[in-house]
Structure 1
Amino acid sequence: MFLTRAPFRALSRQFQQSVRCLCDKKDKDVKTTVWPPENKEKRLEDWKVIDSTELKPPPAENPITRTHRILKDDILRLKKYIPGLDGRTTRQNATMWKHTLFGEGEGFPEEEFFPSHCDIVIIGGGAIGSSIAYYLKERAREGLRVVVLEQDKTYEKASTTLSVGGLRQQFSLEENILMSLYASDFLRNIKHYLGDHVNVNFVPHGYLFLATEEGAEQLTQNSTLQNRLGAKNILLTPKKLKDRFPWLNVNDIALGCFGLEKEGWFDPWSLLMGFKHKAQSLGAEYIDGEAVNFEFEQNEHIQIQGVPSGEYNSTNNLIVKLNTGEVKRITFATCIVAAGAWSGHLAKLLKIGSGPGILSVPLPVEPRKRYVYTIKSQGQNQPLFNSPLTIDPKSTTYFRCDGLGGNFLCGRSPSLEDEPSTENLDVDYSYFDEMIWPHLAHRVPAFENAKVCSAWSGYYEFNTFDENGIVGLHPYYHNIYFATGFSGHGIQQSPAVGRAISEMILHGEFTTLDLSRLGFDRLMVAEPMLEQNIV
């Protein structure tokens, strides 16, 4: 377990925070409210907006008194880290510090301090949100106070941990190719970035995209672009495909594209924990709870085209319902929405999609359920353990090896008419029999007698507009950023997106990889960024 921030730097940062808060008209702390615990699984329609007008702030506090109170609280909290004052010896304290920093054994407990004020609050602590937190803290260090809000601290239902963990450069859009190239470099040097203890178990067996006569030209164009940008893959004729992959049925295949380097799959959980723990070690603070509302106020100092002077509504307050049932307020300078499949709901809380003018354009991100099946086959001439992740051209059915025991993972994205309900994460096993197995058995005859060993499902943060990420500042709000809508590509694009958002906040622009075309503006002008290789 990791500390939410470095304790011996807490006094300095708390004092800086106190000075910043002296300009506030009044203290924004919120009276605690307790809700009864909820045991039932949360569904999208169960989300309720809490009326923050009922949360009355206490009377204004004298600035000197407030500073003294904060410093006193910090000194009392520091006592548990000082040998002798907490009943532990120096050696015992050193052991607990080691366990805390490296996640080994029992370390110091997470601090019970709620950050009522911060510079940046990130809603969503998955791979994208934790990557953003890491890059911000790695570059700004103590210059920024970063808070990450995550409602599922176990990540049991998070899209990150339930993904297949693929990495590929076989896209048709330059931005997607370049983001995945950076991810490849990041994973190769992950110990340099996140620490020697991080191992994502990258399996470099590549991707194999197949095409019929109809899609051969597009596959050729994609491969040319990918190799020009730095990827390394080759085009294979049916004969070369059969020679290299004898288990493959190529009777209806015109061309294949095989990734030779920088492609494969990895452990999403290890990457997520690497980002999170490194961000925490740099001072990022993780809060267990969910965002339930924003507070707005008119700001006459900001002018937006199409908004009458003096009628611009800004927000700097986020209402949070903690997992304990308490409801509190966080005052922030910048908010980043990286809530995955639930980002569309957060956008509605920000009046995006229901307001006038620019605010009338909704965020087109919603949850979509996807199944992943583990199968085993005793058929002859089946794929070997070093076979690539293979995608069938007609159905987008995919499969890859899972370990050395002859198991395989497989799945496919359903058509719009076949989209399953997102009320829960129950698995429909008949979907494998009816929609996946026929295509697997056709493409790999050894899968004719494949049996399902296990299965799970997870949520895609599905962008209904063009199935690509939405990255950057919202055109109405001066302090609301989005990093969402990656439609199944988020885990592999998380390093590049975290870097990009940090650049936007710290420098006001993209300084390495320009992701301007993935901004919210394309939704307003109805110019989709269509990707030809969606899996």
Structure 2
Amino acid sequence: MLRRALRLRLGPCLSGRGLGTYRRGSTLDWDGKVSEIKKKIQSIFPGGAWNPLYDTSHLPPERSDVVIVGGGVLGLSVAYWLKRLEKQQGAIRVLVVERDHTYARASTVLSVGGIRQQFSLPQNVQLSLFSAEFLRNINEYLAVVDDPPLDLQFNPSGYLLLASEEGAAIMERNVKMQRQEGAKVCLMSPEQLQKKFPWINTEGVALASYGLENEGWFDPWCLLQGLRRKLQSMGVLFCQGEVTRFISSSSHMETASGEQLTLKRIHEVHVKMDHSQEFQPVECAIVVNAAGAWSGQIAELAGVGNGPPGTMQGTKLPVEPRKSRYVYLWHCPQGPGLEAPLVADSSGAYFRREGLGNNYLGSCSPTEEEEPDPGNLEVDYDFFQEKVWPRLAQRVPAFETLKVRSAWAGYYDYNTFDQNGVVGPHPLVINMYFATGFSGHGLQQAPAVGRAVAEMVLEGHFQTINLSPFLFSRFYFGEKAQEHCIL
């Protein structure tokens, strides 16, 4: 809107050359013209007091081939792979819209930064194996000329999952599948566990699984900033604002069973600028919904789920914000040493080391009844005292003397249907794609998920990893891709 107004108001300042003589939607032409406008204004108004009025660098472009809603690590990964896999360099124009560029409440930076292959679904094992390779070779993927290399501070200490008698058989089946997919995981008896990690109390433990390679934890903030830096070098555009509306067209078709379907295609995205009541329209060909905990709301804006219940038209995206497990940081001088992996107890409690000074991060998965209010990010310290600490101290006796130093909470993009990711296109809003719903393991799988979405956009099908079980259509057909190893 501002740009259109500028065309009308500044024509005389351009020595008779209207903006209409420049190709609409060209960033280079527009930036050059804005620079010329600034010089004219400065010559007319000494001191350049009018410069802020005409600074449009914060505005989104009028057109973009792909608009990605959500600038967390999943959205950035999609943008990266779209640019990396495009057949002709510079052919695809990508815009990332993010509400908060400080990422103060982002799920990415409020996580514990873990990566593992110990899942119950083959697809999740494959995703994490691909992502582990990406993280281990991060500077081969995200290096920028003349910029320092990234240091993810990857700590390959592995995950140690503990099972009770009741869960031992399931753990054995999972490990067999994980090995078949190429993960390096071993099973340990209580005696072997006690010998390798003498600080563990093995009471109630029937079996343990231990990741030998490609498991551990890393710095999420470094990955996020590394992706942003790389994308800027690749020409990806960024905009701080909130998507408030989609403009779409509709067509109708009838299925073989006689069901009437309405197909939608999004043509325009309205972005409400930060600290402003105005919006900027962006014409686009593709929209990627990577809005994390708020992706369900973005889907509703596009008309997803607004039809009769029980129909594809009425099937909603079942992703909602959940307040992630509170993460507590504590100090324990006699706690486990540098060899300690990330330990996930059968009781739901987990912990890992944080740095070299006998500090630890951890928490406990709440029950459905204990799920905290997602309306705020306040921390419940009583939850630690009553639910977390007793379980930690039972498994690691040294934790009897721990002292909590700080804590925080973040949001999960929680998939209420099967706690698993949603990847690929919507069947009826035909140019909206999803990268959301990972319920806590999106960070570690983001490099692989971004590639999968880019493959679907560019080629029309998954190539590297077949993620068909993660398509949106499963919600209509009731086909759960249930992931049981959720921490």
Q: TM-score normalized by structure 1?
A: 0.79
Residue 12 of structure 1 corresponds to: none
Match of 1:67 among 6, 14, 23: 23
Residue 323 of structure 1 corresponds to: 274
Cα distance change on mapping 1:529 and 1:29 into 2, 3 Å: farther
Matched residue of 1:442: which SS? helix
Residue 363 of structure 1 corresponds to: 317
Give the letter for the 1:180 counterpart: S
Structure 1 contact 132–497 (Cα < 8 Å) conserved? yes
Give the letter for the 2:239 counterpart: I
Structure 2 contact 25–63 (Cα < 8 Å) conserved? no
**What do you get for the CA RMSD once the two structures are aligned?**
2.5
Structure 1 contact 376–453 (Cα < 8 Å) conserved? yes
1:112 Cα offset (Å): 3.9
Match of 1:388 among 332, 341, 350: 341
Tell whether 2:439 aligns with 1:487. Answer: yes
Matched residue of 1:142: which SS? coil
Matched residue of 1:143: which SS? coil
Tell whether 2:197 aligns with 1:245. Answer: yes
Cα distance change on mapping 1:520 and 1:375 into 2, 3 Å: same
Q: Distance in 1 between matches of 2:67 and 2:467?
A: 22
Structure 1 contact 29–329 (Cα < 8 Å) conserved? no
The farther-off stretch of 494-503 and 313-322 is 313-322
How many correspondences in the alignment?
A: 448
Q: Distance in 2 between matches of 1:484 and 1:303?
A: 30
Q: Distance in 2 between matches of 1:176 and 1:521?
A: 19
Structure 2 contact 305–316 (Cα < 8 Å) conserved? yes
Structure 1 contact 134–276 (Cα < 8 Å) conserved? no
Q: Deviations over 1:191-243 (max 9, x none)?
A: 10001621211000000000111111111111111112111111111011000
Matched residue of 1:420: which SS? coil
Q: Deviations over 1:450-478 (max 9, x none)?
A: 21100011001100000000000001111
Identity percentage over the alignment?
46
Q: Distance in 2 between matches of 1:162 and 1:416?
A: 21
Matched residue of 1:230: which SS? coil
Give the letter for the 1:367 counterpart: P
Cα distance change on mapping 1:361 and 1:262 into 2, 3 Å: same
Residue 206 of structure 2 corresponds to: 254
Q: Distance in 2 between matches of 1:390 and 1:226?
A: 18
Q: Distance in 1 between matches of 2:280 and 2:405?
A: 45
Matched residue of 2:348: which SS? coil
Unaligned runs of 5+ in 1: 1-26, 33-61, 81-85, 87-108
Structure 2 contact 59–239 (Cα < 8 Å) conserved? no
Alignment of 1:227-306 (within 5 A): 227-299=179-251
Give the letter for the 1:362 counterpart: K
Q: Distance in 2 between matches of 1:462 and 1:329?
A: 30
Unaligned runs of 5+ in 2: 7-17, 43-54
Structure 1 contact 373–411 (Cα < 8 Å) conserved? yes
Match of 1:332 among 284, 292, 312: 284
Structure 1 contact 28–116 (Cα < 8 Å) conserved? no
Residue 530 of structure 1 corresponds to: 482
Matched residue of 2:316: which SS? coil
Tell whether 2:453 aligns with 1:501. Answer: yes
Q: TM-score normalized by structure 2?
A: 0.87
Q: Distance in 1 between matches of 2:444 and 2:210?
A: 18
Cα distance change on mapping 1:352 and 1:534 into 2, 3 Å: same
Alignment of 1:421-440 (within 5 A): 421-440=373-392
Q: Deviations over 1:142-183 (max 9, x none)?
A: 110000000011001000010101000001100000000011
Tell whether 2:103 aligns with 1:155. Answer: yes
